[in-house]
Amino acid sequence: MSLQVDNLTVYYQTLRGDVQALEGATFSIADGEIMGLAGESGCGKSTLANSLIRLVPPMRLVRGQVRLDGEVLPIDDARRMSDYRFSRVSVIPQYAMNALNPTRKVGKMMAELLGSKGVDFAATIPELKRRLDLVELSHDVLKMYPIELSGGMKQRVVMVLSTLLNPSLLIADEITSALDVSTQKAVAEMLVGFRDRGFVKSLIVITHDISILYQIADTILIMYAGQLAEKAPTDVIIRAPRHPYTKLLIASLPEVGVRYAERRLSGIPGRPPLLLDPPAGCRFRERCSVAFEKCLEAPPFVELEPGHFVACWKELGEDVDG
């Protein structure tokens, strides 16, 4: 069990009160698992990722615990977290193309970063060059400034840098969304390659593009308005989802092979609730066609079949009893 998250609840403090961005998240990721994390904007997927790596104000840990390889992560203590950050938990940030220092050559920047972690840069150069070869980058990039690289090249530089210390957990936040389809595919497959070669133990891939997850993820976790909705193996989420939100979300995706004239897709009516003062119970209730009285209580995230977790009263068979 590489990562174990228990009842993690994170709010953003604002003048108008707490924004309840992540509520009671409980899930685990196995060794070698690539977990896709998907949902609409504002559903809390980046909040979840950020709280695993850098939980600083206005974010506030309300309750919950995170264990990595059996060890509790001090996620709300920014200073103690720096022992884990980059070496044990690492991130490829969204807009990685802007993550590099424009005033340093790539190699110099890497040396400074590794130096700050007490790692000898010279000793890592052979491994670094091997990994640059893997992502099809020329060794010359180390002597170049970020402005000399294309967006896809910068993305790959950041990928190599983020995984250089072989972290247990790597979080990739929307890393393919700004790339062209051909580069997108190559970058996504490189992520899988990093896992296969053991550079990273497990991966969280955050994206709003579920078709990318279908290509590379082992499992998919769907979030809605700060709550976990469903987690299951990739094929199950795509072919046999059980949460009403997942069903509507999957059904609304256009794909090559679907024409407007032949099969008209439909969106999900309504909007997600504001998280400043979210409704009690299931937060999807107001857009859900099968909601009933029981949904005024928050549904638990229950494992219905091995590896398939769903948070929905209907799927728990509550309507039969009620």
Residues of this chain that bind other proteins (CB under 8 A): 40-41, 136, 138, 151-152, 180-186, 188-189, 208-212, 214-215, 238, 248-250, 252-260, 264-268, 271
Q: Which is nearer to other proteins, 15 or 320 (CB)?
A: 15
Q: How far apart are CA 258 and CA 238, in angstroms?
A: 16
Residue 231 structure tokens: 């987690």
Give min distance, CB of 38 to other proteins, in A. 9
Name the burial class of residue 45, with classes exposed (0-12), middle (13-18) and buried (19+) by CB atoms within 10 angstroms of its CB: buried
Q: Which is nearer to other proteins, 116 or 138 (CB)?
A: 138
Name the burial class of residue 317, with classes exposed (0-12), middle (13-18) and buried (19+) by CB atoms within 10 angstroms of its CB: exposed
**CA 250 vs CA 220, 225, 253, 269: distances in Å:** 12, 17, 6, 14
Residue 224 DSSP SS3: strand
Q: How far apart are CA 55 and CA 53, in angstroms?
A: 7
Evaluate whether 102 touches 109 at the Cβ level (below 8 Å).
no
Q: Which is nearer to other proteins, 109 or 237 (CB)?
A: 237
H/E stretch holding 37 reads: strand 34-38
What does DSSP say about strands 202-206 and 34-38: parallel, antiparallel, or unpaired?
parallel
Q: Which is nearer to other proteins, 90 or 155 (CB)?
A: 155
Q: Which residues contact 321 (CB under 8 A, 6 or more apart)?
A: none
Give min distance, CB of 25 to other proteins, in A. 21
Give min distance, CB of 53 to other proteins, in A. 24
Give min distance, CB of 1 to other proteins, in A. 27
Give min distance, CB of 149 to other proteins, in A. 12
Q: How far apart are CA 168 and CA 293, in angstroms?
A: 43
Residue 213 DSSP SS3: helix
Q: Which is nearer to other proteins, 249 or 275 (CB)?
A: 249
Evaluate whether 171 touches 53 at the Cβ level (below 8 Å).
yes
C-alpha angle 69/60/163, rounded to 5°?
40
Q: Which is nearer to other proteins, 157 or 249 (CB)?
A: 249
Give min distance, CB of 284 to other proteins, in A. 11
Give min distance, CB of 247 to other proteins, in A. 12
Q: Which is nearer to other proteins, 284 or 309 (CB)?
A: 284
Q: What are phi and psi of 247, to 5 degrees?
A: -60, -50
Q: Which is nearer to other proteins, 210 or 310 (CB)?
A: 210
Give min distance, CB of 142 to other proteins, in A. 16
Q: What is the DSSP letter of 27?
A: E
